[in-house]
Amino acid sequence: MRGLLRTQTLASFDYQWKELPEGGALLSDEWFVQNGPRIISEELLCLRPDWFHGKRVLDAGCGLGRWTVGLLGLGCDVVATDFSEHALERTQENVERHCTRDQAARLRLERADLLNLPPDLSRQRFDLVFSFGVLHHTGDTHQAIINVAELTDSDGVLFVYLYGKRSLSNRDRFSLAIQRLVLAPLPFKLKRRAISLLRPGADLHHVFDLLSPTINSRHTFEEVGQWLEPEGFPEVVQTIDHNELFVRALRRRESVARYLLPFPGRPYWFERYD
């Protein structure tokens, strides 16, 4: 059953990246394009923009490349990975559309399963490992976090965004799980139409993300801290005070101390889309 759910989830995202590239907080949204580098620096990582220049970064689960573009804009050298070939194609297209030629030259794309890293990737180390909204769809969030954490260099930074268990009540989580299971057998084109009827007027990309993949794990900050501290991250914090999990983990605080920014306050960048 776990294998079937994972196969369905991977196929769902492959369809989503190919067929649903537009929505709020995506690269079809001009405000987001303009503010992406600032969001990464000031709200997600809370590190000054000059820290990023020349850093080697892994975007683990790049999707449409929305954060890849922002990281390139900050001056990083980026390895963008995804299991979906359509995601990698879209990322390449979006980098060519939104980045300068010099920025685009600092991108490398690699297909990767975050639960079973390719040998070449598993031997590499990065100044920043960045994974936004991906690991909770793998079917084994704990193992996926350990896998990407191991790729973080000895002075490096890890950032992950995960669904928070406290963001929804037990009743709401159960309701969403039932909706996903009912929709799961439908071909994706028919599912897309059904979701449009279920949530008329909603952002289709984001509602499809919510209801189509059958694996959508939710976690607590305490869980994530317990996973990361034994992996060599003595400082694990939430940069954004929210029930969803915006987690920054440092291997050595002193390596980034002079670049640290205060944590942001409301309104947070994503609240403009509520």
What mean pLDDT is reported for the chain?
A: 96
Helix (H, G, I), strand (E, B) or coil at 210: helix
* Residue 274 binned pLDDT confidence (cut-offs 50, 70, 90): confident
Q: What pLDDT shows up at residue 163? A: 97
pLDDT surpasses 80 at 247: yes
Q: What pLDDT shows up at residue 191? A: 96
Domains and their CATH numbers in the chain: 2-162+219-260 (3.40.50.150)
pLDDT of 104-141, one tens digit each?
999 999 999 999 999 999 999 999 999 999 999 999 99
- Give this prediction's pTM: 0.96
Concatenated DSSP letters for 30-94? HHHHHHHHHIIIIIII-B-HHHHTT-EEEEES-TTSHHHHHHHHTT-EEEEEES-HHHHHHHHHH
pLDDT surpasses 80 at 148: yes
Residue whose tokens read 């990246």: 17
Q: Give the mean model confidence (pLDDT) for residues 186-197.
A: 95
168 phi, psi to nearest 5 deg: -130, 150
Q: Is 190 exposed, middle or buried (0-12, 13-18, 19+ CB in 10 A)?
A: exposed
pLDDT of 35-81, one tens digit each?
999 999 999 999 999 999 999 999 999 999 999 999 999 999 999 99
Chain-centroid distance, C-alpha 167? 17
Q: What pLDDT shows up at residue 46? A: 98
pLDDT surpasses 80 at 1: no
Indicate the DSSP class of residue 199. S
Q: Give the mean model confidence (pLDDT) for residues 88-106.
A: 98
**Kind of pairing between the strands at 152-162 and 235-238:** unpaired
* Residue 272 binned pLDDT confidence (cut-offs 50, 70, 90): very high
